[in-house]
């Protein structure tokens, strides 16, 4: 189809494709779709962020200042759904689309039309999720989902039509994710360059492979749970109503059977990309490639058998408490393998600290706090104090912001020059890093102490002894939020122009993706490379 | 910072001394200060424990925090050492190793995992199992049973052996929440009627809920357990020290989740028994109220009192509600509809039916079991003759008693 593109990478886009906006609607190109995923994720990141700034503004001082509790409850739940399903997951899928074909020596993803459809389901889902806010302004309904992102029955059975909108949005998002996962699995299994055995497959692709299997294994359970919720709400079933023979805790089991693996779904792609970054900037090969692959598999398997540690206060029987405690603690072992390999990759390297490396190191340290506090949370006895408190809020933000979002930022700075052919501003990148890391800790470190002191999560107003830490946390949140504008600006200006980079981009970069020009040709590998 | 057991202490909380505040900020700035309970005087840790479970929990927490801090410091000290020594700018040449090659290297590689295995399953695992077995033992040597029922957004406490039950709601005035008045020292952590428990007795706590899932939590007791509608959950307390202990609902339960505190007054046993006697007498008097005829004025006065406690969160002081979730009572078809059928029975979906039996799938709960005949009769009478509703009729407590 395109023969000239490989020689003129800079002019690649237009010739074979529809011009203008139609190109983006109809594209089946993995790079176009990857770009759309990343753009969507960035927009949703700001939407979700704006919501939580509303929450933090309300929590700046005791008393109700800005909003009613009903609206507060809508903001926290939709913030979580937007950040998880709208920002983190699409960002990871965007990486997969862009990088997996480049890394494994394939011309494109295996199922390009499915790929297009997978992306274009996202905007309607995001629209459904946020539409009830707008409808409420016109007096229709009572706003969005107000149950937190966990949809716990019977609160969600009682809720307004925002719950129905959210259920439908989750269905659509789930279909999109499953299609993306199928595509990634098929691509990795069938389109690797000759000589690239599974054990030589880059870790990023391995991380995504496990993620894809986890998505296919657990999303249908979530879809089932929310469908049962929908029939409980509208068709007179009693899955979650004791009066009709159901059980509210059944919903929690089903939800977390999805919800816990979801954490690893968000993190595995990041764990996959971190070793590439560390190896590049340490100018040294990845340490323990095989060990990391087995750790990914072990974590993937463990992640589906530990779900009830999210509901340890719900009244589980004693043997279940002990089982879920020990199985959860067991995750620390493969995770420790990863930490060991990350640090061993840096050990005796020749390190330099460009923005991606800074973010990767920030990720390791802060995600270390998430992992260690997670180990403590698994302890059933101590969990009785931590559970449903701000300690948990702080813990999972260390996991999902420092682990997830900062991991994504690592990848963006690492690969953006590859994607655009331009270097971003290193100065702004470093400024963004330091502001993010400092304000992140300013926001979430006090929340550990708030939780220990006894502040429950999801409350719009609090007792006076929590005032100081909340004020600090809110200030941190605003700095954190506004710092992200630097990120957006840096990306924007890098896409628009900047110093040209060569194919390798980074001095220490190794892997097939760096053999191509920057930006890579429209069809990545016309002839497959051979891996020795 | 967190303890509210006595007044001198909490006064300090409201107006912290500048020195202490600075001290606190310095501690905060030092970053990972989680495991420093002694230094921080509990500001950075759990509040003072007053039950065996809470003491055990605090002990496990402190030990665990110490362990993870050591892990954190050691691991990242190695990383930071590497970041300083192995830099390109200082001319360090990169090695090429990708895994352990000799038996000695394998040994060093496996040591951290052996340590972690030991920490997970022996050092922390064994005390944790002991603590959980103790926590779950609600049946051995129980002296008293307390039944706690969560409902949107209040707690009902019941002493089944004594036949006493009452509802406990937030006592903080609306004006304080709306910032129209200065906030009191127990802002959001005060109730109209605390639950009273004896010290030194093992209390088996049974939990359930009438509507959605709530969680009963008093940090100083180290106890947190979900109240699940349609099921009984249990836990236990043995309070070692008299005092007032405050906590909150910990599971998102709708609009006023942040406004349903738990307040427990722990007293010596004789005082508890005396209190229980007065409660029994009050309950008897209230039950007797259903047998006599009440005047409209009496019902209206009682109705306003109960409405302001039980109904006001959703239907609002002016009866306007918060539509569409919480419908208005002012001008409501249901409230202004007929009181009872011609045969004296309840009309389905009428005012009386709704108050007694609630509406499934909504926040309107059935008050049949949580309110007395007098309270239900007075609420119905009050609602039919307030907020611009002028039905002019009334219902007697005796009628409610007969309708149950």
Kindly report the nearest CA distance between residue B239 and chain A, in angstroms: 17
pLDDT digits (tens, 9 = 90+) for A266-311: 999 999 999 999 999 999 999 999 999 999 999 999 999 999 999 9
* Interface mutation vs chain A, best among B11, B92, B126, B132, most A CBs within 10 Å: B132
Kindly report the nearest CA distance between residue B216 and chain A, in angstroms: 10
What does the alpha-carbon distance between residue A340 and residue B116 come to, in Å, rounded to a whole number? 12
Q: What is the 3-state secondary structure (H, E, C) of B40-56?
A: HCCCCCCCCCCCHHHHH
Determine contact, residues B134/B59, Cβ cutoff 8 Å: no
Residue A93 has pLDDT above 90, yes or no: yes
Q: Which residues 233-252 in chain A show a CB within 8 A of chain B?
A: 233, 241-243, 247-249
From the list B65, B113, B188, which residue is nearest A461 (CB)? B188
Please enumerate in sequence order all residues whose Cβ is within 8 A of that of B339, keeping only pairs 6 or more positions apart, or say none: B350, B351, B352, B380, B384, B391, B393, B395
Set of chain A residues whose Cβ sits within 8 Å of the Cβ of B255: 68-70, 73, 146
DSSP category for residue A338: H
Q: Where are the domains of chain B?
A: 7-87+100-136, 146-286, 292-403
Set of chain A residues whose Cβ sits within 8 Å of the Cβ of B248: 454, 456, 459
Residue A10 has pLDDT above 70, yes or no: no
Q: What is the pLDDT of residue B43?
A: 66
From the list A233, A247, A458, which residue is nearest B252 (CB)? A458
Range A360-381 average pLDDT = 94
Which long-range contacts does B115-119 make (Cβ < 8 Å, 24+ apart)?
A: B116/A332, B116/A333, B116/A336, B117/A333, B119/B67, B119/B71
Q: Which of A331-340, B325-334, B379-388 has the highest mean pLDDT?
A: A331-340
Residue A458 has pLDDT above 90, yes or no: yes
Burial (Cβ within 10 Å: 0-12, 13-18, ≥19) of residue A174: buried
Q: Which residues 217-276 in chain B show a CB within 8 A of chain A?
A: 217, 219, 222-226, 228-231, 233-234, 246-259
Report chain A's C-alpha Rg in angstroms.
23
Q: Which residues 188-217 in chain A show a CB within 8 A of chain B?
A: none
pLDDT digits (tens, 9 = 90+) for B67-96: 999 999 999 999 999 999 999 999 888 899
Please enumerate in sequence order all residues whose Cβ is within 8 A of that of B101, keeping only pairs 6 or more positions apart, or say none: none
Please enumerate in sequence order all residues whose Cβ is within 8 A of that of A247, keeping only pairs 6 or more positions apart, or say none: A240, B230, B231
Q: pLDDT category, A16, cuts 50, 70, 90?
A: low
From the list A147, A336, A449, which residue is nearest B113 (CB)? A336
pLDDT digits (tens, 9 = 90+) for A242-262: 989 999 999 999 999 999 999
Among chain B residues, CA nearest to A456: B250
Task: Give the tokens for residue B118.
Answer: 């030991």
From the list A365, A389, A452, which residue is nearest B76 (CB)? A365
Set of chain B residues whose Cβ sits within 8 Å of the Cβ of A339: 75
Among the listed ranges A42-51, A479-488, B342-351, which one has the minimum average pLDDT value? B342-351
Determine contact, residues A95/A518, Cβ cutoff 8 Å: no
* Interface mutation vs chain A, best among B252, B253, B358, most A CBs within 10 Å: B252
For chain A, say whether B11 makes contact (Cβ under 8 Å): no
Pairing of strands B223-227, B214-218: antiparallel
From the list B24, B89, B251, which residue is nearest A388 (CB)? B251
For chain B, say whether A467 makes contact (Cβ under 8 Å): no
pLDDT digits (tens, 9 = 90+) for B243-297: 999 999 999 999 999 999 999 999 999 999 999 999 999 888 877 777 888 888 8
| Cis amide leading into A430 (omega within 30) | no
pLDDT digits (tens, 9 = 90+) for B143-152: 999 999 999 9
Range B155-175 average pLDDT = 92
Among chain B residues, CA nearest to A364: B76
From the list A314, A449, A459, which residue is nearest B226 (CB)? A314
B292-403 CATH = 1.10.760.10
Contact A70 B78 (CB under 8 A): no
Task: Give the tokens for residue A145.
Answer: 């989902």
Provide the mean pLDDT of chain B. 85
Q: What is the pLDDT of residue B39?
A: 39
Contact B83 A326 (CB under 8 A): no
What does the alpha-carbon distance between residue B323 and residue A80 come to, in Å, rounded to a whole number? 26
From the list A314, A329, A343, which residue is nearest B228 (CB)? A314
Q: pLDDT category, B9, cuts 50, 70, 90?
A: very low
What is the Cα A303 distance to its own chain's centre?
16
Contact B183 A385 (CB under 8 A): no
* Interface mutation vs chain B, best among A390, A465, A473, most B CBs within 10 Å: A465
How many A×B Cβ pairs under 8 Å?
300
Among chain A residues, CA nearest to B100: A288
Set of chain A residues whose Cβ sits within 8 Å of the Cβ of B314: none
Q: Which residues 426-465 in chain A show a CB within 8 A of chain B?
A: 441, 445-446, 448-449, 452-454, 456-465
Q: What is the pLDDT of residue A18?
A: 63
Q: What is the pLDDT of residue A451?
A: 94
From the list A285, A352, A458, which residue is nearest B89 (CB)? A352
* Interface mutation vs chain A, best among B225, B257, B263, most A CBs within 10 Å: B257
CATH of B146-286, one of 1.10.3720.10, 3.40.50.11720, 2.60.40.420, 3.60.40.10: 2.60.40.420
Say yes or no: domain A26-514 is CATH 1.20.210.10: yes
| Among B231, B159, B167, residue whose Cα is nearest residue B201 | B159
Q: Which residues 47-106 in chain A show a CB within 8 A of chain B?
A: 62-65, 68-70, 73
ipTM: 0.90
For chain A, say whether B123 makes contact (Cβ under 8 Å): no
Contact A382 B217 (CB under 8 A): no
Contact A70 B46 (CB under 8 A): no
From the list A384, A388, A456, which residue is nearest B57 (CB)? A384
Among the listed ranges A65-69, A209-213, A489-493, A521-525, which one has the minimum average pLDDT value? A521-525
């Amino acid at each position: 189809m395109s023969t000239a593109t490989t020689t003129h990478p800079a002019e690649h886009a237009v010739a074979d494709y529809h011009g203008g906006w139609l190109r983006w609607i109809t594209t089946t190109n993995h790079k176009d779709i990857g770009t759309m995923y990343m753009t969507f994720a960035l927009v949703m990141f700001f939407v979700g962020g704006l919501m939580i700034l509303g929450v933090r503004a309300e929590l700046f001082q005791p008393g109700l200042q800005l909003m009613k509790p009903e609206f507060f409850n809508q903001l926290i739940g939709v913030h979580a759904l937007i950040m998880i399903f709208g920002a983190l997951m699409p960002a990871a899928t965007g990486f997969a689309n862009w990088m997996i074909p480049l890394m494994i020596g394939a011309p494109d993803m295996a199922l390009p039309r499915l790929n297009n459809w997978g992306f274009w389901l996202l905007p309607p889902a995001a629209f459904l999720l946020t539409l009830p806010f707008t409808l409420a302004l016109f007096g229709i309904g009572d706003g969005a989902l107000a149950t937190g992102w966990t949809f716990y029955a019977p609160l969600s059975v009682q809720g307004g039509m925002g719950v129905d909108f959210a259920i439908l949005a989750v269905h659509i998002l789930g279909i999109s994710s499953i299609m993306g996962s199928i595509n990634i699995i098929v691509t990795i299994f069938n389109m690797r360059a000759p000589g690239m055995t599974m054990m030589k497959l880059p870790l990023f692709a391995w991380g995504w492979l496990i993620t894809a299997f986890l998505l296919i294994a657990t999303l249908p359970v979530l879809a089932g749970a929310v469908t049962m919720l929908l029939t409980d709400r509208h068709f007179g079933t009693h899955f979650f109503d004791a009066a009709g023979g159901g059980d509210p805790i059944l919903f929690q089991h089903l939800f977390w059977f999805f919800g816990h693996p979801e954490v690893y779904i968000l993190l595995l792609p990041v764990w996959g990309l971190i070793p590439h970054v560390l190896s590049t900037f340490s100018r040294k090969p990845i340490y323990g490639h095989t060990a990391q692959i087995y750790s990914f598999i072990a974590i993937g398997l463990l992640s589906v058998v530990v779900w009830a540690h999210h509901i340890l206060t719900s009244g589980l029987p004693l043997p279940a408490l002990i089982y879920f405690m020990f199985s959860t603690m067991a995750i620390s072992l493969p995770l420790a393998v990863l930490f060991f390999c990350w640090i061993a990759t840096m050990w005796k390297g020749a390190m330099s600290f460009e923005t991606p490396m800074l973010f990767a190191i920030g990720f390791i340290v802060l995600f270390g706090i998430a992992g260690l506090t997670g180990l403590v949370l698994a302890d059933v006895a101590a969990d009785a104090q931590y559970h449903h408190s701000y300690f948990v809020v702080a813990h999972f933000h260390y996991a999902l912001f420092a682990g997830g979002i900062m991991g994504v930022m690592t990848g963006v700075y690492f690969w953006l020059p590859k994607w655009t052919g331009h270097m971003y501003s290193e100065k702004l990148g470093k400024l963004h890093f330091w502001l993010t890391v400092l304000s992140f800790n300013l926001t979430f470190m006090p929340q550990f102490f708030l939780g220990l002191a006894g502040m429950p999560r999801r409350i719009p107003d609090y007792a006076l002894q929590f005032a100081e830490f909340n004020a600090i946390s809110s200030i941190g949140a605003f700095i954190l939020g506004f710092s992200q504008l630097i990120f957006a600006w840096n990306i924007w200006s890098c896409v628009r122009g900047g110093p040209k980079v060569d194919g390798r981009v980074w001095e220490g970069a190794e892997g097939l993706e760096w053999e191509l020009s920057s930006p890579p040709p429209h069809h990545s590998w016309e002839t497959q490379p051979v891996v020795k | 910072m967190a303890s509210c057991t006595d007044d001198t202490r909490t006064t300090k909380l409201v107006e912290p001394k500048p020195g202490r505040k600075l001290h606190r900020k310095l501690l905060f700035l030092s970053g990972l200060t989680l495991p420093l309970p002694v230094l921080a005087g509990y500001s950075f840790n759990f509040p003072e424990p007053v039950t065996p479970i809470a003491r055990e929990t605090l002990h496990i927490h402190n030990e665990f925090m110490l362990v993870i801090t050591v892990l954190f410091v050691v691991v990242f000290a190695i990383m930071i050492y590497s970041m300083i020594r192995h830099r390109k700018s200082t001319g360090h040449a990169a090695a090429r190793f990708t895994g352990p090659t000799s038996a000695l290297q394998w040994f060093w590689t496996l040591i951290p995992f052996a340590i972690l295995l030991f920490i997970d399953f022996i050092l922390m695992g064994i005390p944790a199992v002991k603590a959980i077995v103790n926590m779950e033992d609600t049946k051995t040597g129980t002296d008293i049973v307390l039944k706690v029922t969560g409902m949107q957004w209040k707690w009902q406490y019941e002493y089944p052996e004594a036949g006493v039950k009452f509802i406990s709601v937030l006592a903080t005035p609306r004006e304080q929440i709306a910032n129209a008045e200065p906030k009191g020292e127990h802002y959001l952590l005060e109730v109209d009627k605390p639950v009273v428990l004896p010290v030194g007795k093992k209390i088996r706590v049974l939990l359930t809920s009438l509507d959605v899932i709530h969680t009963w939590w008093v940090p100083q007791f180290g106890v947190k357990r979900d109240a699940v509608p349609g099921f009984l959950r249990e836990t236990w307390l043995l309070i070692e020290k008299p005092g007032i202990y405050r906590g909150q609902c910990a599971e998102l339960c709708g609009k006023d989740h942040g406004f349903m505190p738990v307040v427990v007054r722990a007293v010596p046993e004789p005082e508890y028994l005396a209190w229980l006697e007065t409660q029994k007498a009050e309950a008897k008097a209230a039950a007797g109220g259903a047998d006599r005829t009440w005047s409209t004025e009496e019902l209206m006065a009682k109705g306003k009192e109960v409405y302001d406690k039980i109904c006001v969160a959703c239907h609002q002081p002016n009866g306007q509600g918060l539509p569409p979730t919480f419908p208005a009572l002012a001008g409501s078809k249901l409230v202004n509809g007929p009181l009872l059928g011609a045969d004296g029975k309840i009309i389905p979906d009428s005012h009386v039916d709704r108050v007694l039996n609630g509406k499934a799938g909504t926040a309107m709960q059935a008050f049949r079991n949580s309110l007395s005949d007098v309270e239900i009769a007075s609420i119905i009478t009050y609602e039919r003759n307030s907020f611009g509703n002028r039905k002019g009729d009334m219902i007697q407590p005796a009628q409610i008693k007969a309708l149950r």
